[in-house]
Structure 1
Amino acid sequence: MPLSDAIVSLIRTYAAVWVSAAGLWLADRGIELPVDPATIAVTGLAVSVYYAVVRVLESRFPAAGVLLGSAKRPTYPPTS
């Protein structure tokens, strides 16, 4: 059963969040990261950069979309 465009768009957006969660999991395994405003800002920046880089890669190599959780891009009806 194919996923709806709404579900695909959510998966692709949340994949970047899951990547940052994986970073937190690694930190829990012994890599010390101070929890301060700078760390929070760097984490947000890292998620944003990850998403942007994967989107650029995907424009050249469509299979790279799997790094966002789904290689299928959502499609949206034209707006009037």
Structure 2
Amino acid sequence: MDSIRFRQRFQPGDIVSGTILNFKNPYQAWVQIQDFKLLASMNARYPEGTELFFVVEKLYPQIILKEVNPKELKDRGLNIIV
């Protein structure tokens, strides 16, 4: 199951890159992160295939991913896992 493997590989605070697969609603999209397909919170609607960065906010009780602006990453000196 993707959620179990994702929890083993990542921890809260990790920054991951993902590709938009499709939108569930205006604020959530299915994204491909490495070999995982997960639902992420979005700031805007992007075309399918767009690559973005997400912060792993929580792993339990559900995985919470939130889109982050690349400029924010540099300003905060965050660790990006590709």
Q: What TM-score comes out, normalization by structure 1 length?
A: 0.26
**Greater relative CO, 1 or 2 (CA 8 Å, sep 6+):** 1
Normalized per residue, the structure richer in helix is: 1
Pick the structure with more strand per residue: 2
TM-score (norm 2): 0.25
Larger radius of gyration: 1
